[in-house]
């Protein structure tokens, strides 16, 4: 019999290195099976062909996964010029081919400057965005095409890592909602040859990096052996960059009952703990009133 002494009582983030050929939903299902915990979710879908960092929220971590989803992400992406596909990646059907032999490293590098900072980006049809309750990729598979509006995204860093004509490898650090496939498409259009994203590795999501990640098979063995605390990040890790407050017994009691407490904190989200170091949840600070109001109250052990 496998060891499941704490079945249903796991809480934290498992940082999975998603392999190619499986969906993000497949990984969530695997973690549910391994932990026996029904409350499991992920922070940011990775396409089946993509690999890299996929944080999986388990138990109480599902209370904070929304904050992690708001975090920036970084990628190492490969852009192949001269070929355009309907999905903007290697899984799609080729719809156009152009000569890209004239492109140089200098030309591509110069064009990247136009994609740094705040930009407008049209999402791909082959995406999980829902319109009228249906994901766009379902409509795309049925041959539908919907004119999508451009959305604001921020490219914090964009660097050419290597160039081997007609393929560029780029590093991208970007805001939530950015599609690297669409970025590859737009760069290809800008240089006049078209392009598609031929490979993608997610290097980081928020505080979690590829160096933090585990293979699913390794996680299963380690969790069975009782090493949960060694492989999982605490549920509060999604708010690693937010300030923390510590409440005395009286304020902790108020907090657990959903009441605000007095505390001098910056505006915005704060992590909340009691004097024993127990995590009590997430609050919203208001410097004007000197109060912190509960947003997420944790009452479970």
User: Average of pLDDT values for 207-234?
Assistant: 95
Check 47, 89, 236, 251 and give the catalytic one: 47
Fold agreement (12-70+207-237, 73-200)? yes
Is residue 140's pLDDT more than 80? no
The answer to whether 298 and 291 have CB atoms below 8 angstroms apart is: no
Task: List, as one string, the DSSP characters of the chain.
Answer: ----TTTT---EEEEEEEPTT--HHHHHHHHHHHH--S-EEESS---TT-EEEEEEEEGGGGGTHHHHHTS-EEEEEEEEETEEETTSBTTS-EEEE---TT--HHHHHHHHGGGSEEEEEPPPSSSS-EETTEEHHHHHHTT----PPPEEEEEEEEEEEEEETTEEEEEEEE-TT--HHHHHHHHHHHHTS-EEEEEEEEEEETTEEGGG-B-HHHHHHHHHTT-HHHHEE-GGGGGTTS-EEEE-HHHHHHHHTT--EE----SEEEEEEETT--EEEEEEEETTTTEEEEEEE----
| pLDDT higher at 172 or 264 | 172
Report the top-level CATH class of 242-297: mainly beta
Q: Under CATH, which architecture does the 12-70+207-237 domain have?
A: 2-Layer Sandwich (3.30)
> Which band of pLDDT confidence, cut at 50, 70 and 90, is reported for residue 7?
very low
Query: Can 91 be counted among the known catalytic residues?
Result: no
User: Average of pLDDT values for 81-107?
Assistant: 94
Residue with tokens 């998603």: 18
The mean pLDDT value of the chain amounts to 90
Question: What's the CATH number for 73-200?
Answer: 3.30.2350.10
| pLDDT higher at 141 or 207 | 207
Enumerate the domain spans of the chain. Answer: 12-70+207-237, 73-200, 242-297
% of the chain at pLDDT higher than 70: 89
pTM of the model: 0.88
Is residue 5's pLDDT more than 50? no
């Amino acid at each position: 019999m496998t060891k499941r002494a704490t079945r249903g009582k796991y809480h934290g983030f498992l940082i999975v290195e998603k392999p190619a050929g499986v969906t993000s939903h497949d990984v969530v299902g695997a973690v549910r099976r391994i932990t026996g915990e029904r409350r499991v979710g992920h922070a940011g879908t990775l396409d089946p062909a993509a690999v890299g960092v996929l944080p999986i929220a388990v138990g109480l971590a599902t209370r904070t996964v929304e904050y992690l989803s708001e975090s920036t992400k970084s990628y190492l992406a490969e852009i192949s010029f001269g070929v355009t596909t309907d999905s903007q990646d290697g899984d799609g059907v080729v719809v156009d081919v152009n000569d890209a032999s004239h492109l140089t490293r200098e030309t591509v590098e110069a064009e990247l400057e136009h994609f740094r900072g705040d930009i407008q980006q049209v999402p791909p049809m082959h995406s999980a965005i829902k319109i009228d309750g249906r994901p766009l990729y379902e409509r795309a598979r049925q041959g539908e095409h919907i004119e999508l509006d451009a959305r604001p995204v921020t490219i914090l860093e964009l660097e050419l890592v290597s160039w081997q004509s007609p393929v560029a490898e780029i590093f991208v650090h970007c805001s939530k909602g950015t599609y690297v496939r669409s970025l590859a498409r737009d760069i290809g259009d800008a240089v006049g040859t078209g392009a598609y994203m031929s490979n993608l590795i997610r290097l980081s999501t928020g505080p979690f990096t590829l160096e933090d990640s585990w293979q699913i098979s390794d996680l299963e063995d380690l969790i069975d052996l009782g090493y949960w605390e060694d492989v999982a990040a605490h549920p509060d890790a999604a708010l690693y960059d937010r300030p923390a407050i510590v409440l005395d017994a009286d304020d902790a009691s108020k907090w657990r009952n959903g009441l605000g407490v007095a505390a001098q904190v910056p505006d915005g989200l704060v992590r909340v703990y009691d004097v024993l170091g127990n995590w009590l949840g997430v609050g919203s600070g208001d410097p004007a009133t000197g109060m912190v109001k509960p947003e997420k109250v944790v009452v479970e052990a």
